[in-house]
A and B are shown apart, each in its own frame.
Chain A
């Protein structure tokens, strides 16, 4: 696989040779050869564990920047639920409306924003239908974490039949956002760019080398670390302004920020997060362990996407009103009515359009040859 399809970058000048990345890599993709660290690209799944553990920032994610929007007259920012979690934990959310959020992104040059949570609702519904109609091997695995999908392709190909045959929420969001923008503006689809604001390097790789589709609708993946400070700064100013208006009795009733509830309508679902935990579970399943669940969400980052390596802080550090936050996320939010969802499913919208196949077996790398006694 070409290097350009991988997103984890290595800066040898910053590397102190501590070896933490080697220990942390779940797929043994990092080696030291002739005193130099090397990444075995065909093994790397872009999970970002090395970024997370490197104390010297020698490993980074090669995401797109805001400049990627330049070719598009109209650009949509796709906002992941994890970003909303972060904003909720800034202590601003009570005062911040969706319009404020839209304003913050507009200030950065985006034409509009689209919540990926709305796409996640569609994906969840489609998966539910597959479960109810018993169309796939049970349990179904979520298609949302590209690092996990790559892991299954490379290490557990016998379990690929469990992957839900539906596009990821990011891909669905890009398609829905473009459809909406075309209706709104009359522009042709190729003039509309969809940009995912990502907590995760694997999403960058997914957009460049899509897994369940032949062509990604995502035109760029911008690291959340590149925009988060600006967003919070803008929202803080808005919150302060609103506070003053409230004190003066001039505040307008705002639209509450939509919540990206972690809807889990399936009665027998479970989540396993952390790439090492995922590997353990998949290994046990491969060994014959039955998992009596309809749906399993497998996430590479411990604690899920809010712990993505591109996020600039831990999401729940400093949150003392955890109970209030939990209450908020327990509330179910609906973006689409049942008829729309059912119609979407029946028409086969957002079904995967490319089979998910085992990763091609390449020539064994040098280390494999050494273990196999093949060194010449």
Chain B
């Protein structure tokens, strides 16, 4: 399985993602410049990652300009052909702006940027990045965003729920889900979702920041392992 990490002007979690995929997980990973117009060498079992950061400074609306970068047409086509696309934080915002995922990410309810560890409850095993995660355990994974309040109309939220597209909800350390555990006021406490075809994932928390013992937290590593094992199993199957 091969990974490509897109570098938009202003991306700043690109190196972190490459470090985890390459050095920690031992996978083949390349940087992709946003001005590229195609994704040569990537096949449907591969994964394109849109990393966190502040693409184009996010002075307008997070991700609103990056979706027009030349590479996004290729990413959309790649996703439509079944390739895996994973957007984290700013990458999630870009995926929503590009229409690859439903909904939008609004300014946090308390209006401030917030960076801290939060807890996530996995909602389904029916996606490559959550297939091997426990549905009972609360994962400690950090967030760092000012615009992370997931929003969609009621019908969209219901269809996300009905189609099992909600991957993660914010919770307390003991796993209970309530408004007090939700750091940004997102609808239905949503922290991450996937598309209907289950090959495009978006999440606000940063699993790449919680994948090494040296940093004292490996709760995020399970998402990477899950993706790799699921895809490997499909290849064999």
Do A and B bind? no
Where the two chains meet, the residues of B that have a C-beta atom closer than 8 Å to any C-beta of A are: none
Where the two chains meet, the residues of A that have a C-beta atom closer than 8 Å to any C-beta of B are: none
